[in-house]
A and B are shown apart, each in its own frame.
Chain A
Amino acid sequence: MSSTTITPAPTTALSASVTLGWRALLKIKHVPFQLFDVTVFPLMMTLMFTYLFGGALAGSPREYIQFLLPGILVQAIVFITVYTGVGLNTDISKGLFDRFRSLPIWQPAPIVGALLGDVLRYSIAALMVISLGLILGFRPEAGPIGVVLAVALVLVFAFSLSWIWIVVSMIVKTPESVMTSSFLLLFPLTFASNIFVDPATMPGWLRTAVGYNPVTHLTDASRGLMHGGAQLADVVWVVAASAVIVAIFAPLAMHMYRKER
């Protein structure tokens, strides 16, 4: 030990969260492979769906990508939100959260810090998808500002969804189970939407369900923002849905986080 006696000065909630966000950045720096999941998967989906469905659905991939890209961006980001839960579950099962919880810090900081890192990862993924889209011929009519606004809205929704996986990560035992259980929600959420096809072709009951799916409104808003003609109603829907999800799952997550394991 050293002769230095350190007495702690109280840390603010913000500084603790930022420090734990710095930890997320370091992890990206040391294990760049973890970006592989969040980048390759979205790129793969963009390429696959553009060329698989493009000809059949819109006459050509180039025409289809104008319709698909704002939606595939939504799907890609929504899918990778699960990594928030996977990461937290790993931290919990390795005992790292015990250390954080025994420190005199603002208790939600480890979760908020992780979310800060995740928002960065979502942004990287969004950048990749849009860059690939531009290469493949995507031309957003509303210009860069529209694209940035669309990405921002997608990030808001992704942030809210992350809270669901945070809750799941505290219930299930392994990171793998977080992943598996997430598919039960993510597949219907993204496929039972208007990302790939116009809901007009669907049976009535499904069309109704698709109409209530926040992903549908997010996709509409994303298309509207990128190509012009965004409906305020869609944006409000998405923001409201995000707020409801956070209002339910954030307190639940914090409750479970404080609760013992």
Chain B
Amino acid sequence: MTLAIETAALVKGFGETRAVNGIDLRIAAGCVYGLLGPNGAGKTTTIRVLATLLRPDSGTAHVLGHDVAREPVEVRRKVSLTGQYASVDEDLTGTENLVLVARLIGMTWSAARVRALELLATFELADAAGRQVRTYSGGMRRRLDIAASLVRTPELLFLDEPTSGLDPRSRNQVWDMVRKIAAEGTTVLLTTQYLDEADRLADRLAVIDHGRVIAEGTSRELKTSVGGRTLNLRVTSIERVAEAEGVLRRVLGPDVRNGTEPQTLAAVVADESAVADALTALTGAGIGIAEFSMGQPSLDEVFFALTGHPAEERTAEEAYA
């Protein structure tokens, strides 16, 4: 496995506070990797260190084989960064913004223009190409910003909260873009506070809290590690609900409650092999099952279980990063 990013005991502080407090990451090349955590957890600082905008205080970070502190220029040659705030020039048009970046990375005027128009079309901004960016909506700006990171195809793309502040439609558009970028072989490291975003986009996740990785794995692994998968089922006849509840208690254990609708039940499953037994017992008792599913805890619940506080928590002392 080739590693796109490898950090060891990475520390970065501002004054008294350690925004990044010993982060170890091993991120495989070619995947979409999510850093999940609340505001001020240290996600942005981590990305800024990896993108060579900040120097680490201690520890090491290698990006695509280059030490970020010793070979920042090599790193910059291979990565692109889309920061938390749309870093495009509002006074310029969409085309001009992209041509600017293209020129800066060494393309000729004509090649820069061709590339700019190509990207504007891909990001559904062709109609707005000649308009000043200040007239763009939030979603358009963010798309232009991501486009600016793709003027040259980076080996690694950093996306810092790519969808914060966007409406659901723009969010979906950005998600599609990220999937396309990843499909073409670029490794993507994104930060997010949105649990569903991490769930949908990232192949693997690191949950970050107070500058540390508190959990790492696929979204499924994280959910499983919290334990408590749930069997949700709907019986065909409402008269048999109480009886079904009794059967489930007997087979699966005491943690059975009514579901969201009168005909449904939810039972916490400690041992998944018992699920088949429970279903057999129900049919044996002549109770018809209309549908059943195995549910997983939401990432919100995962976060709460890992940190002891909800993901939305924002405190003044954490707001610096």
Contact = CB atoms under 8 A, between A and B. Distances in A.
B171 interface: no
Nearest to A9: B106
Interface stretch (A100-108, A131-139, A227-235): A100-108
Contact of A102 (B53, B93, B119, B151): B53
B96 A1 contact: no
A95 B87 contact: yes
B256 interface: no
A11 B92 contact: no
Interface in A1-56: 1-2, 4-11, 15-16, 19-20, 22-23, 26-27, 30-31
Which of A4, A15, A104, A105 has the most chain B CB within a 10 Å cutoff?
A104
B83 A10 contact: no
B79 interface: yes
A99 B83 contact: yes
Contacts of B92: 23, 26-27, 30
B100 interface: yes
A4 B76 CA distance: 20
B142 to A, nearest CB: 12
Interface string A99-122: 111111100010000000000000
A26 B89 CA distance: 11
B81 A6 contact: no
Interface string A79-101: 00000000000000011101111
B304 interface: no
B283 interface: no
B249 interface: no
A100 B89 CA distance: 11
A4 B107 contact: no
A96 B53 CA distance: 13
B76 A99 contact: no
Contacts of A27: 89, 91-92
Interface string B77-90: 10111011111111
Given A7-B152, A98-B53, A105 B91 contact: no
Nearest to B45: A260
A109 B103 CA distance: 12
A96 B89 contact: yes
A98 B87 contact: yes
B53 A4 contact: no
Contacts of A94: 85, 87, 90
Contacts of A104: 73, 76-77, 105
A97 to B, nearest CB: 8
A16 B77 CA distance: 15
Nearest to A260: B54
Contacts of B18: none
Contacts of B180: 1
A102 B79 contact: yes
Interface in B101-122: 101, 103-107, 115, 118-119, 122
A95 B103 contact: no
Interface in B148-169: 148, 150-153
A103 B104 contact: yes
Contact of B181 (A1, A8, A30): A1
Given A96-B87, A96-B88, A103 B153 contact: no
B105 A8 contact: yes
A176 B81 CA distance: 28
Most B-side CB within 10 Å, residue of A19, A95, A96, A102: A102
Given A7-B152, A26-B96, A95-B85, A103 B115 contact: no
Contact of A6 (B55, B86, B91, B107): B107
Nearest to A18: B103
B184 interface: yes
A257 to B, nearest CB: 11
Contact of B89 (A10, A23, A260): A23
Contact of A8 (B48, B106, B119): B106
Contacts of B181: 1
Contacts of B119: 2
Nearest to B14: A260
B231 interface: no
Given A15-B106, A27-B92, A102-B81, 5 more contacts: A6-B107, A26-B91, A27-B91, A99-B88, A103-B101
8 contacts: A15-B106, A22-B100, A27-B92, A30-B92, A95-B83, A98-B81, A104-B77, A260-B53
* A-B pairs, 8 with minimum CB distance: A9-B106, A95-B85, A6-B152, A95-B87, A99-B87, A104-B76, A19-B103, A8-B105
